Structure 1
Amino acid sequence: MATVYSLAIKGNDDEIAQISVVEYKNFTDATLETDKLLKEKDLALLGFNYNNSMMIVPDLIIQGNKGFGLTGLNSKGGRRIQAFYWLDSKKCDCGPVSIGKTNVGVTSSYPMNITTGLMESLHVDKVVNASAHKTPLTFMPPSIK
C-alpha cells in the first residue's frame, strides 16, 4: 500500500516536469541497482531508447541522497529525463539490500540544463502537521536566462 503525491510543472510548449513522491506504508526494497534495472526497462518500453539513445547516470546525489538518472529519445526526437532517489533508504540486516518508505522521482521533457537546475534545487520534506500551516503557499517560477 502506498500514497503518491505529484506535482506537475508545465511550460509554454509541450514541455513538462513531474515530481512524484511515493510513500509506502511499510518498508519496501529500496536497492538502487534493482530500481535502475526496472526504470531502464520502463523507459525503453515507453519508446525512449530510439537508436539505443538511452543513457544512465548511475551515481547522482540528489538532496544529499544517492540516486540515479536516465535519459532517452523517442522516434520523434522527444527527450525524457528521469531521476530517482530514496529519501529514507537504509541498509537492511536481511542481506545486501536497502529498505525505505519514501521514493522521489523526477520526470521531465525540459532541456537538460533546466531539468538539472530543478533537481539541484529540489528539496522534499515530510510535513507532519500540514493543517497547522496557515499562510497560503506561493510558487514563483525561477528566472531562466
Structure 2
Amino acid sequence: MKRAKVFTGSLVVLFALLLMSFGQEKKPWDIPDKYMSMKNPNAADDADALKLGKMMYSKHCKSCHGNFGQGDGPKARSIDADLGDFTSAEFKAEKDGVVYYQSIIGRDDMPNFEKKLIDEEERWAVITYIQSLEKK
C-alpha cells in the first residue's frame, strides 16, 4: 500500500512537471526594423572572418552554446532558456540582422555583448562563424 502511494505521488509530480514544460513556449523576439535589413558584410567562406569568429565564439559563446553550436555547452544545463541550435534549418533560414540582434543585443538569459564585442568586425565575424556551423 505504501509503495502504491509513493508511485502515485511520483506520477502526480511527473505529470505536473510535464504540464509546466508544455506551458513554456518560445517567446518570439521583437526585432527592431533597423536590424531586419542588415546584411553580413563577410562572405560565408571568408577565412579571416571565420578564424576571428571562431576565436570570439570560443571566448564568449562556447560555454553555453557548445563546441558546435547545438546548445550543449557546460553552462547550458543552468540556463532555463532555449539556447537554440546553430546547425538547424530554422537557424540557417534567419536573416543576418536577426542573428546579429539576438547574438549581440540579446535578452533575458542571452547577455548583451555590445560592451564585450565593441568592434563591428568582431561582431560580424562571430555571426559568420555561427552561420557556418554544421551538425557533428
The structure carrying a bigger helix percent of its residues is 2
Structure of greater Rg: 2
Under a length normalisation based on structure 1, what TM-score does the superposition of the two structures give?
Answer: 0.25
Q: Which has the higher strand share?
A: 1
TM-score by length of 2: 0.26
